[in-house]
A and B are shown apart, each in its own frame.
Chain A
Amino acid sequence: MAQHRISTKRRSLMLGAAAAALVQPLSVLAQGAEEIVIGGSIPMTGVFAFAGVGINAGIQDYVKIVNDAGGIKGRKVRYVPEDTGYKVDVSVAAFKKITSQNKVNVYYGDSTGFAKTINPELERNGNILMAGASFASELNDPKKYPHQFLVGPDYTEMFGILLKHIAKEKPGAKVAFVYSDSEFGRDPIEKSEAAAKALGLSVPVKIMTPAGSVDVSTEVIKLRRAAPDYTIFHGYILAPIPEFITQGKQQGMKSKWMGTFWTMDSSTVMKMGEAGDGFMGVMPYRYYYDTEKAPMLEKIRALRPEYQSTAYMQGFLAAMLFLESAKRCLDGNKPLTGANLKAALNSLKDFDTGGLIGVPITISGNSIPVGRVYRADMKAQKMVAASDWIKL
């Protein structure tokens, strides 16, 4: 009998939750006409949670700043995030749930897999502009992905920025590529090898490691034999980069070590310890603690006195670009459709991000091909600028 009672109770709870979910859309749709809604498949748990939490806070803060200033042309902005655990099927479920309960105008997606999977749905829906955590080169194609954009340079462009810096610093240098055996890792390698050659650089070795590998001693020997002047890591967050650098230095390598966006958060690089001293990499945004003039950074620091990650900056900038596009649409009395929002985004010419990116930006396609090389200063426990802003 007791079991029956428990079972009935559980069933009525579940029914209640389901009924609430089914009823919710009607009420929200009724009140949502004058709102701008940002939906988000955000990885607050799982392997990408370290970034998702920052992205979530960045979007939340920008929405708060805009709403405190009266919204966009009198319309309030509402942010509706949902945790995805960094799983594509869960991300799609979150998208379906958020879009069926809200009239979503812009959406933040959490992965390359999600961006590719949801693309046909975005095209069919026609009312949503999407950006996300992915910088995959494949997404930088306005024809294939007309309603999406990248909040920075794609991975091939990140390599391009690093290679441009290297070509200027040491013409004819030897550059090694070390990357993971994943879609993320392999993304920029082929095109970047050609780009290096075009800049007069050589690529003596390309080393692919299994995703998640820890023991890299044989790869380090291969790398040492090639004696590169620069080694660029890609497709990792942290491991096995410190192992490569430590063993490389022990074996007398003189290479400079570099990384791309997802390795370059200050807290990630500082975890490398001694091995990370002098580690360089490409960063499309300013760091939280940068001292150059940046009014938006000052606002962020006033909102949050503690360090905020580069993922936070990415989320913050994504929200800024979303809402700037919406504002331009409303200014032009155009409905907020995916195509109009994207056209408005592409109308950004020399747009001032309030110093989040150190130079005015122009978005002519799906990416923002701008970045800067930063270097780790372990004594100061900070990333310091090692180049000027580089535009491709």
Chain B
Amino acid sequence: MKALIQKLVESIGPSGYESNVRELIKTEIGDAASNFQVDPLGSLLVRTGKKTAAGMRVMLSAHMDEIGVIATHIDENGFVRLTTVGGVSPRTCYGGRVIFVSGVHGVIGGDRPDSPTSMHSIEQLFIDVGATSRENCPVKVGDFAAFDRPFLDLGDRLVAKSMDDRIAVAILVETLRALKGKETPHELVFVFSTQEEVGLRGATAAAYGVDPDLGLSVDVTGVGDTPKGAKMEVGLGKGPAVKVRDGRMLADPRIVRWMVDTAEKAQLPYQLEVLEAGTTDAAAIQLARAGVPAGCMSIPCRYIHSPSEMVDYNDVTNCVRLLVELLSHPIELK
């Protein structure tokens, strides 16, 4: 599975420009499914299984997009000013590298700071693509870029620029593969969504289109297991996290119980997650049409929205196992 993860996390797909990721997912799913659809906002919908009397239409969602930057101005010396796509902190930018959707590479520099300790604002940063004038700059206003950083395999711990949320994309692809040939009473709609980082936009539209009986997103969540870190129970390597609530969603308690019971029955590790800020596609699914019971399975992740997001490989494989268990049997919400 690490090879799949590496391919996914190293592909480039800032919000709104997820095509590379989408094509890669299609290739990786291969003949594990046959019903592919791209919706009007670019989300990839992959359907398997038929809804039986004991089954549901289940929407699973992992977002394809990643945070990035957009070129706003090319100055007379060919430096590119930028704005952000999604939650990018200037702290993680200076000295970093970006790659534009067009393939152009660049490094991030900044105006000379007022003092050695002051931090750049986004307005004070620029991208140097090696150009010397506005005319020979290969970037134009409106071009999108993502951060550029190779995949790092530390054994159990994996590091990449876009674990958020390609690790969940990899999990859903692997789950699809694992479910091939297995009996399931459900119609499963795997949604690889767009524009999550700018406000759950792809999932909002996809959930309306899918009209599911139950929704589950898979995304990363913060942790409290680093030195002087956040006060939070969740940590790396303790299993996938069952979300109880986050900044914009109260998970359906019946779904929380269903996930916890299934994990215990299958003797799979899990932890409970209460996240103070931030949210996932599940918040959008929950409010689609007349409302949908929704929950989220989270992968604990350190250094979220930095170019070095870290997850634990065992959490990833256990998440796949738990999802296969969850989706192979009739679901009783109680």
Q: Do A and B bind each other?
A: no
